[in-house]
Amino acid sequence: MEVAERLFIQKGFDGTSIRDLSKEAGINVAMISYYFGSKENLLQAIVEQKANYGLLKSQEYNAMLDLTPFEKLSCIMDYYADKILNNQGYHQLLHKELNNDQRPELRGIILGILEKNWVEIRKAIQEGQDRGLFKKDIDPTLVIMTIFGFLNQCTRKDLNEKLRLENPGKSMNEIRDKIKNHLSRLLKDHLTNY
């Protein structure tokens, strides 16, 4: 499944044959059908395996209760940033399948996965707005799109490379912190009544 995830991203689902997969994984071609039933099921299995990768565990969320809305939002964003940046390939896979009409069932699953991620962030934003700490005339949906749109860009290999080149001497962790800080500051500027 690890091999498949990688190849599906590199060559696309339809562009990857089970012979490619079996050769790369060092297994027999029949094994994919044997274990997963079909190539398509393999893709679905990959997606579902990490389905809950970004869902905040309830205890983590409860621990945030005494934080300000912005701190909370910032925490959650950091959380998702880490999750996405640690699973860049998987995340790209999700988005590659997202617009594909050929596999509507899988599409539904992916939409469900992504939707979950939205909920927590939306809650935090709306709490801030309700408590008068965030501007009220801001559409949370557009904000969330901004967040995930930005994190999405961070999974692009060429931009990863660009960031690395533009920040010579910085470790991947430092770059990652930069990304998180950017997001945090961006939203502070945008949401809060300074």
Q: Which residues sit at the interface with a copy of itself, rule CB under 8 A?
A: 9-15, 92, 96, 98-102, 111, 139, 141-142, 145-146, 148-154, 156-159, 162-163, 166, 178-179, 182, 185-186, 189-190, 194
Contact partner, 50, from DNA, a copy of itself, none, Cβ < 5-8 Å per class: none
Contact partner, 38, from a copy of itself, DNA, none, Cβ < 5-8 Å per class: DNA
Residue with Cβ nearer a copy of itself (56 or 151): 151
Residue with Cβ nearer DNA (76 or 106): 106
Q: Retrieve residue 178's tokens.
A: 């930069």
Q: Which stretch binds DNA (CB under 7 A): 26-34, 67-75, 133-141, 184-192?
A: 26-34
Distance CA 144, CA 18 (A): 37
Return all residues near 121 (Cβ < 8 A) that are at least 6 apart.
73, 76, 77, 80, 140, 144, 147
Residue from the set 9, 32, 46, 73 that interacts with DNA by CB under 7 A: 32
- Check the CA dihedral 179-184-190-194 and report its sign: negative
Q: Does 176 bind DNA (CB under 7 A)?
A: no
- Give burial (CB, 10 Å; 0-12/13-18/19+) of 127: middle
Q: Rounded to the nearest 10 degrees, what angle do helices 172-191 and 140-154 cross at?
A: 160
